[in-house]
């Protein structure tokens, strides 16, 4: 039983403000330890449920957040960026299930630190008309490989936006959003206990999960946060300018959808 974990930070219990996700301050150092311990809980639960291999991909920001020396040594760890398929780098069709830990609601949604991929650049991302969170995009990518999402952890707004996309998955709510930068959370210990229990159940009941599917072909519409960012994205030859802030792409595979999103996200650094 092979389990793939994509780990983000904004949905971790105790994480509520941008500083928690930004390297270079004491709050970030605390948050990355909380993130690592929630991932450890998912790893431990997966092995307790019968997993034989667990691969973890650090999926937040610089993708150098998880502490390798503190990670459960039974798991393998993917660090760094850029890397193919971003938050699901290294995921292959041979995996039995995906876990998304520390995930969050999408851009423009109520939810703790809500955004999609790049809060500076993206106001909204639509795929075939579906308003996407990161869990939507990467869950559909996993589904295109035939791999179901079996566990999703984060805040209540994430579950409201994305939970129905993953039938049979364990939904572990570790905090309730009181605002974009405020939450009522479980203690870190209770959050880890809930994630461990959810991970164990997810592996044992993986047969009840079904891959999430957004049917091809794909129409990707990206609403940028500013006109200059849309100007930049529109320089891509296959981009179609829909409005001052919106560009559109056609794609035949979910991997290509992710490629365009991550390309524009990287390009946006030119205008920071």
Q: Which residues are catalytic?
A: 115
Q: Under 8 Å CB-to-CB from 200, ≥6 apart: which residues? A: 45, 46, 48, 49
**Strands ordered across the beta sheet of 130-131:** 130-131, 122-127, 218-224, 246-251, 240-243
- DSSP character at residue 147: -
Question: What is the C-alpha to C-alpha distance for residues 182 and 139, in angstroms, rounded to an integer?
Answer: 26
Strand segments, DSSP code E, in 201-251 are 218-224, 240-243, 246-251
Cα 241 off chain centre by: 27
Q: Cα–Cα distances in Å, from 52 out to 2, 4, 45, 66?
A: 6, 11, 12, 21
Contacts of 1 (CB under 8 A, 6+ apart): 49, 50, 51, 52, 53, 96, 203, 206
């Amino acid at each position: 039983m092979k389990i793939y974990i994509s780990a983000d930070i904004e949905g971790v219990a105790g994480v509520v403000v941008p500083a928690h996700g930004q390297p270079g301050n004491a709050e970030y150092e605390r948050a990355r330890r909380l993130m690592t311990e929630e991932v450890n809980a998912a790893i431990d639960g997966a092995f307790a449920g019968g997993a034989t291999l667990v691969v973890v991909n650090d999926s937040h920001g610089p993708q150098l957040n998880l502490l390798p020396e503190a990670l459960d040594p039974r798991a393998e760890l993917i660090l760094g960026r850029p890397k193919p398929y971003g938050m699901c780098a290294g995921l292959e069709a041979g995996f039995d299930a995906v876990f998304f830990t520390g995930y969050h609601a999408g851009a423009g949604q109520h939810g703790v630190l809500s955004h999609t991929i790049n809060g500076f650049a993206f106001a909204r991302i639509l795929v075939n008309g579906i308003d996407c969170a990161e869990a939507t995009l990467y869950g559909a990518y996993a589904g295109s490989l035939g791999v179901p999402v079996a566990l999703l952890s984060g805040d209540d707004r994430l579950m409201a936006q994305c939970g129905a996309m993953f039938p049979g998955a364990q939904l572990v709510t570790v905090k309730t959003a009181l605002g974009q930068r405020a939450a009522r959370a479980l203690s870190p210990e209770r959050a880890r206990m809930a994630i461990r229990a959810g991970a164990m159940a997810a592996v044992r009941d993986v047969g009840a999960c079904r891959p999430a599917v957004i049917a091809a072909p794909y129409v990707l519409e990206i609403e940028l946060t500013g006109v200059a960012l849309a100007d930049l994205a529109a320089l891509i030859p296959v981009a179609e300018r829909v409005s001052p802030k919106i560009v559109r792409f056609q794609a035949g595979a979910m991997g290509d959808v992710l490629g365009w999103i991550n390309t524009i996200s990287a390009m946006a650094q030119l205008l920071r």
